[in-house]
Amino acid sequence: MKLVTRILASIAAIFLLQYLLPQLVSYNTPLDAALTGLALGLANTYIRPFLRVLTFPLTFFTFGLSSLLINILLVLLVGYIIPGINLSGFGAAFVLAITVAILQAVIGRIFKELR
């Protein structure tokens, strides 16, 4: 269920930011946005835990700010791998990472209440 939540949140965040801030995040086709959301959801599910273990000392000393940096770097990595998505830079990745985190919390809470 977590994987579905992360994928849905990633896709929703990309569509939302394209609508609200098209100068930061844009995509060629809706399929590109869905593929990017899928890749970002998979990266958050499988790569992020490994990176968090590796960077635990840094996370401890920065009071969790390096965790945000990991999320931003994953967004930049996925944006680089998927050719149909256009991120305008580090700021766009920052906004997308924050939006994905917020939407994951909201969608996760909705799914918890539906059980």
Phi first, then psi, for residue 85 (nearest 5°) are -105, 140
Calpha distance 100→32 (Å, rounded): 17
pLDDT digits (tens, 9 = 90+) for 9-55: 899 999 999 999 999 999 999 999 999 999 999 998 899 999 999 99
What DSSP string describes 6-74?
HHHHHHHHHHHHHHH-TTTEEESSHHHHHHHHHHHHHHHHHTHHHHHHHTHHHHHHTTTHHHHHHHHHH
Sign of CA dihedral 101, 106, 110, 113: positive
pLDDT digits (tens, 9 = 90+) for 62-114: 988 888 999 999 999 999 999 989 999 999 999 999 999 999 889 888 888 77
